[in-house]
Amino acid sequence: MDAWRDEYEQLLFLQDRSIGFKAVIAIHNTSLGPSLGGCRIRQYASDQDAVADALRLARSMTYKSALAGVPYGGGKAVILASPDAGPRDALFRTLGKHIQKLQGQYITGMDLGTTVADMDTVRQETTFVTDTSGSLGAVGDLTAKMTAYGVFLGIGASLRRLFGSESLLHRSVAVQGLGKVGYQLCRYLKEAGARLTVTDLDARLVRKAAKEFGASVSLPANIMAVPCDVLAPCALGGVLDDGAIGRLNCRIVAGAANNQLAEERHGDKLRKRGILYAPDYVINAGGIIVTASELSGGDAAQAKRNVESIYGTLTRVYDLAEAQSLSTSAAANRLAENLFRA
């Protein structure tokens, strides 16, 4: 964890014992603009785990924003959930007060475990917050929808790279996770003529997708090994580890989940197996692009046009990887670093 000293601009550990509030704000880099990244609330095994999570997430936001071409840096907040914590409102108001003190160096929004109502509470203390009631991202779940749209376009760019055509007709796609993004992705894919195999821990979602999309069903434990053209991880991070990569039976991995590679070296392992990997933070940038559109006063139509840039960005990543014999994840990192370190 010592690496944070070299790389990060700020790390704040916040505490108010009277209401059981503990939170971390990490600001990775603001050279392209104020740091932007949601706030998650979850239980952590230790304070160190919470700090490590905030650091890792803030860093990936810098890379995501840089390659998405939005004028923001990377930051993240995490609230440590605990049975001793006070009322939820008090926790988010306290976080809002701390964000206000940062005077715009960090802008928060929704993430794992947080809701529009939580962001409305933060809004009572600071204007440096997105995803509040009526905001562009919150209405009709536009953030998830545009994330799915970006992944859909990225799958097209990946198919073109491997097969010379982005057509999904008769192509098979296996989707892991049928939540807000995964389910919407299935809609786009089905409309374009793909054959789907789906899985989720929630049997109700699986039944719904099987009926609506005529999808085949896989057990959650088997999805990584399903024979298909494209595997789209849309559930958890860390799914591409040594074991899973060995079992893959696809040509392309392209999905919405954050931090899909268990470790950086797994990007190279995918390359050696001849599997084209769409780096997660490039292909799932639809959400951040919607947030950036909201902050600059744009509307949904503008946001959608901006999301379409994902196709070209991913193609540039693939070009660089090919030209320099790099993994696609290393190529994406290099392109992003050139932008925020310039």
Tokens 């704040």, residue?
A: 12
CA dihedral 217, 218, 224, 225 (to 10 degrees): -110
Rounded to whole angstroms, how far apart are CA atoms 72 and 339?
A: 12
Minimum CB–partner distance for residue 133 and ligand NAI (Å): 17
Rounded to whole angstroms, how far apart are CA atoms 291 and 28?
A: 19
Which of 75, 154, 182, 267 touches ligand NAI (CB under 6 A)? Answer: 182
Identify the DSSP state of 263: S
Minimum CB–partner distance for residue 59 and ligand NAI (Å): 15
Question: Which of 34/182 has CB closer to ligand NAI?
Answer: 182
Question: Which of 102/178 has CB closer to ligand NAI?
Answer: 178
Residue 307, marked binder = no
- Asked if 181 interacts with ligand NAI (CB under 6 A), we say yes
Question: Which of 235/326 has CB closer to ligand NAI?
Answer: 235
230-233: strand order across its sheet: 216-217, 195-199, 172-176, 230-233, 252-253, 276-277
Side-chain half-sphere exposure of 128, counting CA atoms within 13 A: 23
Minimum CB–partner distance for residue 147 and ligand NAI (Å): 4
Residue 181, marked binder = yes
Minimum CB–partner distance for residue 19 and ligand NAI (Å): 27
Alpha-carbon separation of residue 131 from 26, 90, 102, 115, 116 (angstroms): 20, 19, 19, 8, 6
Which of 108, 147, 291, 327 touches ligand NAI (CB under 6 A)? Answer: 147
240-259 footprint of ligand NAI as x/- string (CB under 6 A) = ----------------xxx-
- Asked if 94 interacts with ligand NAI (CB under 6 A), we say no
- Asked if 142 interacts with ligand NAI (CB under 6 A), we say no
Quick one: which H or E segment has residue 238?
A: none
Which of 179, 238, 241, 337 touches ligand NAI (CB under 6 A)? Answer: 179
Question: Which of 143/306 has CB closer to ligand NAI?
Answer: 143
Surface-to-core class of residue 170, CB atoms within 10 Å of its CB (0-12 exposed, 13-18 middle, 19+ buried): exposed
The residues in 196-215 that bind ligand NAI, with binding defined as CB under 6 A, are 199-202, 205
76 labelled catalytic: yes
Side-chain half-sphere exposure of 326, counting CA atoms within 13 A: 18
Identify the DSSP state of 43: -
- The CA-based angle 123-127-129, given to 5 degrees, is 70
Residue 180, marked binder = yes
Residue 214, marked binder = no
Residue 179, marked binder = yes
In the three-class reduction of DSSP (H, G, I as helix; E, B as strand; rest coil), residue 72 is classed as coil
Stretch of 81-89, 174-182, 224-232, 306-314 contacting ligand NAI, by CB under 6 A: 174-182
Which of 229, 277, 287, 307 touches ligand NAI (CB under 6 A)? Answer: 287
Which of 58, 136, 144, 157 touches ligand NAI (CB under 6 A)? Answer: 144
Residues placed in the known binding site for NAD(+)? 177-182
Which are the catalytic amino acids? Answer: 76
